[in-house]
Amino acid sequence: MKLSAVLLVVSDMERSRRFYENVLLQKVIMDFGDNIVFESGLSLQTKSSWPSLTGIPEDDIRFCGKDAEIYFEDDDFDLIAEHLKAAAGPGGCSTDPDSDPGSCPSYPVRYVHDIKEHPWGQRVIRIYDPDGHIIEIGESMESVIMKFLASGMTIEEAAEKSQYPEEFVKECFIKQFAPKRPGDGR
């Protein structure tokens, strides 16, 4: 079985759509009114329409669960982190998911935490969407590994630090440093 999509229930479709398009740079490919689908495979569904699809009473739908997250990654993590700060406006926004999203000047960018680096070398940032769903944005592991190799680490050292198999690290190295030949798809 293959995971086909992730769907989040949202309380205000227009607000959430603006957030995902403008803050997380997602592109809508289908708009069904109560449901929208982004190019990334993420979908949003209105809270008011969810009960008719699932049989779950609207009063039982909860936000701010803090027990799951949606994960994005990008090769240009620094650019994305700056974009998030700019979207939040001067001074950033509250880390409290229950705070008023209207208190953020541009979009409701509320941080779970600012940039942190994991022991395997990957930098990530976590934010809340307007309904308190946790969103993690991380630098791609390929770019982390390339950073290690560019700093002088051997393939073995980069594999150990990143906790990725040596074969993956070698593939990253080849993709980045091997001469490109016409027609080889690189």
Which pLDDT value is given to residue 90? 59
The token pair that represents 87 in the structure block: 């979207």
Which pLDDT value is given to residue 98? 53
**How far, in Å, CA of 53 to CA of 143, rounded?**
40
Which pLDDT value is given to residue 180? 67
Q: pLDDT digits over 165-178, tens only?
A: 999 999 998 887 77
Ranges under pLDDT 50 in the chain? 94-95, 97, 101-105
**pTM of the predicted protein model:** 0.82
- How far is residue 88 CA from its own chain's centroid? 16
Domain ranges of the chain: 6-48+69-139, 141-177
**How far, in Å, CA of 127 to CA of 118, rounded?**
16
Whether residue 74 contacts residue 139, with contact meaning beta carbons closer than 8 Å, is answered with yes
CATH of domain 6-48+69-139: 3.10.180.10
Query: Tokens 């490919």 identify what position?
Result: 29
